[in-house]
Chains A and B, each alone.
Chain A
Amino acid sequence: MMNASKIKGTSNRVMTLNMGPQHPATHGVLRLELELDGETIVKATPIIGYLHTGVEKHSEAKTWYQNIVQYDRLDYLAPAMNNMSYVGAVERLLGIEAPPRAQAIRVILLELTRIKSHLVWLATQAMDLGAISVFLYCFRERETIIKIYEALSGARMMQSWICPGGLRGDIPDGWDEQVRSFLVEFPDRLREYRALLERNPIFRARTRRVGYISNEESVAYALTGPTARASGVRYDLRDNRPYEGYENYDFEIPVRTDGDVYARYRVRIEEMIQSRLIALQALDKLPGGSVKADHPLYVAPPREDIHENMEALIRHFKFYTSGFKVPKGEVYFATESGKGELGFYIISDGGEKPYRVKVRAPSFTNLSILPRIAPGHLISDLVAIIGSLDIVLGEIDR
């Protein structure tokens, strides 16, 4: 493992190469300006902003309920996580809590989303390193999870199913069997992927001792998520600041100290195994009751009531047209997304629209360590490193 101080430039010719925003191996529209000495990187500068959407400004123009839909599109691989962070923050501002059944279903949805996000990570990382079959296999798994989402909400990717007070609706019949059958066969599939990759000498040579991030660097650059846990930083928001009943579930947090690409791979694989255990526990202990909190102002009435009850009809109308007013205050609520600490800092001035919404995206902070660890590597190692940081440009650029 080399660092920049060991490079002796025998000639002073450093070449600037642009790995442009349209590139098959940068995960999205990431542009890298590389200064190369031969094939070795001397300096790497990420240039971002090609997917900047202005979500934070747009949030100030839409009501609290309308905003839920656009945050799905930030980290588009794990839409339920973004939902959960925003809705959790709004619930804390409102001072309401979701009922236990809603919390359990939320946990199932979140853990399935975490598995799906890690599967897409595995697919793209393996494809970048040349193992294209793993891409096709992981997308087969992803299709199974997407069918579960579609049975619940009708949408394949952007469900927006979590709303303040609970969920938008209850689970359909047979949904828990569908989830259970996926979770039961998942370990065998995972064993297949691991057998394809971990015993492959090319994969090991391309990922071991590549892209080393030390413990101090990880803390100084505020890395979170599996990237930090592979460098020995034991920080998981499901454990440090539990939410949605995570303190009731029994799971481990995988931490490794190697800090290279292979360690990050192993941490994510083990996280998938633990996510499956959490989802099974939540499924087994699924409590009964309703999925919406009984709060007249902040939660829409159940659909059956609006056919019978005039008050429910008026509530439904007012809720979906003018929305609700959130009391004055501010909150920062962060959850453990598949990529790290995903937080929403929301300020309300008592109106129907937020005053300020700041999205703390984990990939934004995780990518900022790239200029520090890239020098000394070859370009093909850089591709492995970017894959292991697991970035999503939607949440970096917001």
Chain B
Amino acid sequence: MDDVEKKNILDFIRNLIGSNLINSAQDCEGVDVAIIDRNSLVDVAKSFRDNPDLRMRHLSFVTAIDRIDMEKLLYAVYEFSSLDDDRRIRIKVPVVAKDPWVPSITSIFPSANWHEREMMECFGIEVRGHPDPRKLLLPDWVTEKPLRKSFPSGGDELWAFHEKTIEMFNEKGDYAGSIDDDWLERFNE
């Protein structure tokens, strides 16, 4: 029964988007992984939510993988599962490093809102159509994308990053440097 249903999800995607399904694989537990083109992501997400046979209504997470060294690609990963039984599928969307964008699925799955914001700031993948593309976890002054492999994960380069932040604090003088100047003007009116 399980095999029939799992094949159904991949077959369903193949029927829906045709050649935009680039590849499919299995992870070490046997869960399906479908690699699809970014232009059909919204259609796939809509059918996962609305189709009464599929009913994959639960989006566990949205994240990204940095494979720029090996394949010059970043992958955006979406994990869908069903709430009623144990069907799962993982969707990977390859994104070229020179033009990294994916469409937003926040209008379909509202839980993707914060996950996509975190993906944007940590990996630098632009999520087009996101209602609120501000920084979520990182402070406002950070411009680098820390979870990319090009960002240091230890050693002297990381220490240089700390030194830069300490210097910035010392220059600003008042450490509560995030007060907006416009806000102060409005307050004083």
A residues whose Cβ falls under 8 Å from a Cβ of B: 48-49, 52, 54, 56-58, 60-61, 92-93, 95, 219-222, 233, 235, 240-241, 327, 329-334, 341, 343, 345, 347, 355-356, 358, 360, 364-365, 368, 397-398
Q: List 19 A-B contacts (CB under 8 A).
A: A48-B136, A52-B137, A54-B146, A57-B151, A57-B153, A58-B153, A92-B29, A219-B58, A222-B109, A327-B28, A330-B27, A330-B28, A330-B33, A332-B31, A334-B60, A358-B61, A358-B63, A368-B110, A368-B114
Are A52 and B138 closer than 8 Å at their CB atoms?
A: yes
3 nearest A-B residue pairs (beta carbon): A222-B111, A329-B28, A49-B137
B125 at the A interface (CB under 8 A):
no
A398: B residues at CB distance < 8 A: 137
Closest A residue to B148 by CB, please name it: A57
B47: A residues at CB distance < 8 A: none
Closest A residue to B108 by CB, please name it: A220
B139: A residues at CB distance < 8 A: 49
Closest B residue to A327 by CB, please name it: B28
B83 at the A interface (CB under 8 A):
yes
Name 19 extra pairs, CB < 8 A, besides A61-B154, A332-B31: A48-B137, A56-B147, A57-B146, A57-B153, A95-B28, A220-B109, A220-B110, A222-B109, A235-B58, A330-B27, A330-B28, A332-B88, A333-B29, A345-B77, A356-B65, A356-B66, A364-B114, A365-B111, A397-B137
Closest B residue to A349 by CB, please name it: B70
CA distance A360 to B146 in the complex (A): 18
Give, as a whole number of angstroms, the nearest-CB distance from B85 to chain A: 7
CA distance A57 to B154 in the complex (A): 10
A329: B residues at CB distance < 8 A: 27-28
Main secondary structure of the interface of B (DSSP, over half): loop
Are A332 and B136 closer than 8 Å at their CB atoms?
A: no
Are A360 and B86 closer than 8 Å at their CB atoms?
A: no
A345: B residues at CB distance < 8 A: 61, 63, 77, 79
Which residues, 144 to 162 on B, are CB-close (under 8 Å) to A?
A: 146-147, 151, 153-154
B113 at the A interface (CB under 8 A):
yes
B9 at the A interface (CB under 8 A):
no
Closest A residue to B60 by CB, please name it: A360
Decide yes or no: A347 and B65 within 8 Å by CB, A221-B110, A330-B28, A368-B114 being known contacts: yes
Count chain B residues whose beta carbon lies closer than 8 angstroms to a beta carbon of A: 36
Decide yes or no: A331 and B86 within 8 Å by CB, A58-B153, A235-B58 being known contacts: no
Are B136 and A49 closer than 8 Å at their CB atoms?
A: yes
Residue among B29, B61, B77, B151 with the highest chain A CB neighbour number at 10 A: B61
Are A332 and B58 closer than 8 Å at their CB atoms?
A: no
CA distance A56 to B57 in the complex (A): 27
B residues whose Cβ falls under 8 Å from a Cβ of A: 27-29, 31, 33, 57-61, 63, 65-66, 77, 79, 83, 85-86, 88, 90, 109-111, 113-115, 135-139, 146-147, 151, 153-154
A355: B residues at CB distance < 8 A: 65
Give, as a whole number of angstroms, the nearest-CB distance from B163 to chain A: 17
Closest B residue to A53 by CB, please name it: B137
CB contact between B61 and one of A93, A233, A360 (< 8 Å): that residue: A360
B88: A residues at CB distance < 8 A: 332
Decide yes or no: A332 and B138 within 8 Å by CB, A57-B146, A221-B110, A233-B83 being known contacts: no
Closest A residue to B140 by CB, please name it: A49
A347: B residues at CB distance < 8 A: 65
B114: A residues at CB distance < 8 A: 364-365, 368
A221: B residues at CB distance < 8 A: 110-111
CB contact between B28 and one of A52, A57, A92, A220 (< 8 Å): that residue: A92
A330: B residues at CB distance < 8 A: 27-28, 33
A222: B residues at CB distance < 8 A: 58-60, 109, 111
Residue among A330, A343, A368 with the highest chain B CB neighbour number at 10 A: A330
A333: B residues at CB distance < 8 A: 29
CA distance A220 to B115 in the complex (A): 14
Closest A residue to B25 by CB, please name it: A330
B31: A residues at CB distance < 8 A: 332
CA distance A74 to B146 in the complex (A): 19
Decide yes or no: A219 and B138 within 8 Å by CB, A57-B146, A61-B154 being known contacts: no
CA distance A368 to B62 in the complex (A): 14
Give, as a whole number of angstroms, the nearest-CB distance from A324 to chain B: 16
Give, as a whole number of angstroms, the nearest-CB distance from B88 to chain A: 8
CA distance A56 to B31 in the complex (A): 23
CB contact between B79 and one of A220, A235, A332 (< 8 Å): that residue: A332
Give, as a whole number of angstroms, the nearest-CB distance from A213 to chain B: 13
Are B60 and A343 closer than 8 Å at their CB atoms?
A: yes
B137: A residues at CB distance < 8 A: 48-49, 52, 397-398
